[in-house]
Amino acid sequence: MSEAGDRQPEAELGLLDATMIGMGAMIGAGIFVLTGLAAEIAGPAAILVFALNGVVTAFTGLSYAELAASIPKSGGGYAFVREIFDDLASFIMGWMLWFAYMIAGALYALGFAPNFLELLHVYGVVGPPDEVSAVALPAVGVDVPPAFLLAFVAVFLLAALNAVSTAAAGSAETIFTIIKVSILVIFVAFGVASPMFSGAEFQPLFPEGSGATAILPAMGLTFIAFEGYDLITTVTEEVENPRENIPKAIFISLAATVVVYLAVVAVAIGTLGAEGLADAGEAGIAAAATSFMPTGLPIIQNGGALIVFGAVFSTLTALNAVVIASSRVAFSMGREGQLVPSFGQLHHQYGTPFIAIVASAVVMLGSVALPTQSAGNMSSLFFLLSFVIVNVAVIRLRRERPNMNRPYKMPLYPAPPILGAALNLVLTGVLVEYLIRTDPLALGLSIGWILLGGVAYVALNRYRARTDTEGETDTDSDVSPVTDD
Amino acid sequence: MKKQDLRIVIVGGGRVGLRTARTLDNRGHTVTVIEEDPIRSDEIADEYIATVIEGDATKPSILKQVGLEKTDVLAALTADSGTNLAACLTAERYGSPIRTVMRRTDEDSKEYEDLVDQTIFPERAGARAAVNAVDPGTRALEDMIGNLEILVIEVTEDAPVAGRSLTDIGLPTGSLVVSNADGDRIAEAGTELEVGRSYVVATEPDVEDEIVRLFRG
């Protein structure tokens, strides 16, 4: 006999696994990295920001549940849109969603770095994060900030790992997420019990000057904290009893995430105060924890270190999840002929979508040079736009395919997708306006990516026209079991 | 540019249709099934292998809901040739360009050859399986292996494995390249997978899509 295969196929995922994939992606990102930034914009109203985002995103969650239950494809939002929209619209959707994930990867890497430095600092390996000196790279003759270098290395290593190994993330993800949530529960418990929290001050709720309107841009920035259900739908084909479990996983992960967020943000603001939180930026939660967690514990010494470890662990696992998710979007687009075909090819030895991973990694590595806030802004912007299209896809499918079997039908149709699309558009508008005022770099790069997409689309159509004339035929008839009709 | 995964519509989610849908889904293609019976339609949706449109496929208003303009192949597999022919003709009218495969209920393979691209007569394979059971000493191939698929698969030019030897490629667990290109030798480590040649590959259903993607691009 010849070479028998030796790579392990993917495992089946249960309801718990699917829920944890969604929660794992959401909880890594928003809470540790973005709480500080949200507090900076909205003050104590950051709590409201997360609550309202949960409401807005629930409408899109309903749309995802309906689509994922009736369309058995593991491409996430792109696969659903591809089903009902023409080439251009589905290309735009895939192009935007791919970018959203890649920038999210950069965001998580940028959130990982300062928290990792903080962890090293807690154990006295290095000085306080802001005093760690730049790392000189003699080879290129420039000094690189250590946080940037760490973020770069994290992306590089995780991309390399995923490029050469298909080790199924599913069950490991469940354990990871349980660890993350447990750490946050410890954080909340100690925070609520601490004397700092009993004197908590949530007034004035809204920042002076901008007032209640300040929560809108903060909602835009932190919207990415709720992108996890798209991630659930990128693995639907591996889930058991999917038409029941996928909608459940979407709703449970969303609800649980909102609860965790609200508790954590309330404690962080209650103990550190909105200003203190804002000053700590990406390491906000970690800074809050070091302020009230007990010290002098065995082994870990400082209780705050546990939370900092949670932040490091969460950002890293979330980064891993989006490395996979971004390459899956690119892989799906390649297989649909919407990116060059090599994106849709498995590697001959590793069995991974190698080119798709490498291409995604290149964009992510470039993006870690961005300021954290710009990465958050851009990623949120593209998720918002993608979700608008997903909501419209639900409406189009209901109109054009009335007889499609829908194992899960959302209640109160058409209100949820209309509200979902409208609210996402409002947040997009607010975010764009906010970017014009404060972050022209992010806006410019976003527009640049869309223009680049236009160029890619035209070039691809040219290429397609050329190859189509070269070789027709070649259908699947060459793959046939040894039997004839 | 050539699409790597086919969009396939199967008319009729009966035993033949569902089995076909499952096999094609295993290979990574996108499948839509049109099934008239509501209970059967729910059962197919439960399997999560295909999008299901519930209705009578001879009605253009139903058939058009599969997105014919994007469909590569339509296979009409109900037990009724009239329904199958109507679905194929409607698809050829509205879909561009589309391959049509029709299940016929009589033995004569010439009858519909001007109207559809290919006809099949699944009862022949069924009969062969019955013969295998009745006279197990001499068995035809297709019935001897539980869930395994034995594929004769041709390596395409763009395929990831094209031109590589078996030692260089990593196949998933649950798959095995059985014979070399000529089909007269058992494959060994040094066997090279040449473009345009066919190989016999045994695969478990779980990894069939990966095998197809590695060999076909």
Residue A141 CB-density burial (10 A; 0-12 exposed, 13-18 middle, 19+ buried): exposed
Angle between helices A215-222 and A46-70 (to 10 degrees): 40
Inter-chain CB proximity A243 and B48 less than 8 Å: yes
pLDDT at position A405: 92
Within the 375-404 window of chain A, which residues sit less than 8 Å (CB to CB) from chain B?
400-404
**What is the distance between the alpha carbons of residues B54 and B35, in angstroms, rounded to a whole number?**
5
Q: Say what the pLDDT of residue A207 is.
A: 67
Which chain A residues touch B54 with a CB distance below 8 Å? Answer: 403-405
Q: Does A460 touch chain B (CB under 8 A)?
A: yes
Residue A482 has what pLDDT?
45
Residues in chain B, total: 217
Measuring CA to CA, how many Å separate A17 from each of A31, A70, A360? 21, 20, 25
Exposed, middle or buried: residue A453 (CB in 10 Å: 0-12, 13-18, 19+)?
middle
Count Cα neighbours of A452 within 13 Å in the Cβ-side half-sphere.
11
Token pair recorded at residue B168: 């260089």
Q: What is the dihedral of CA A156, A160, A163, A169, to 10 degrees?
A: -90
Residue type, B37: D
Q: What is the end-to-end Cα distance of chain B in Å, rounded?
A: 13
Residues of A in contact with B53 (CB under 8 A): 401, 403-405
Residue B54 bridge partners (DSSP): B35
ipTM value, please give it.
0.80
Predicted local distance difference test score (pLDDT) of residue B51: 93
User: Nearest CA to B115 among B56, B61, B64, B74?
Assistant: B74
**Residue in A268, A248, A266 with CA at minimum distance from that of residue A258:** A266
- Chain centroid offset of residue B63 CA: 20
Tokens for A249, please give them. Answer: 């996983």
Residue with structure tokens 């007034």?
A203
Please, which pLDDT band fits residue B206 given cuts at 50, 70 and 90?
confident
The confidence band for B21, taking pLDDT boundaries of 50, 70 and 90, is very high
Q: What pLDDT, on the 0 to 100 scale, is given for residue A481?
A: 46
Please give the helix or strand (H or E) that residue A61 lies within, else none: helix A46-70
Spatial contact of B55 and B89, defined as CB atoms under 8 Å apart: no
Contacts of A2 in chain B (CB under 8 A): 166, 176-178, 186-189, 191
Q: Which residues of chain A have pLDDT under 50?
A: 1-3, 9, 471-478, 480-485
Most B CBs within 10 Å, among A399, A403, A480, to test the B interface: A403
pLDDT at B99 over 60: yes
Q: Residue B180: how many CB atoms within 10 A of its CB?
A: 21
CA-nearest residue to A466 within chain B is B1
Are B188 and A2 in contact (CB < 8 Å)?
yes
C-beta of residue B159 within 8 angstroms of C-beta of residue B216: yes
pLDDT in tens, B130-189: 887 787 766 666 655 567 878 888 898 888 999 888 888 888 888 888 887 677 788 888
Round to whole Å and give the CA distance between B77 and B118.
12
CA distance B94 to chain A (A): 16
* Coil vs helix vs strand at A319: helix
The number of residues making up chain A comes to: 485
Determine the residue of chain A that is closest to B27 in CA distance. A479
Question: B85 vs chain A: nearest CA distance in angstroms?
Answer: 18
**Residue A95 identity:** W
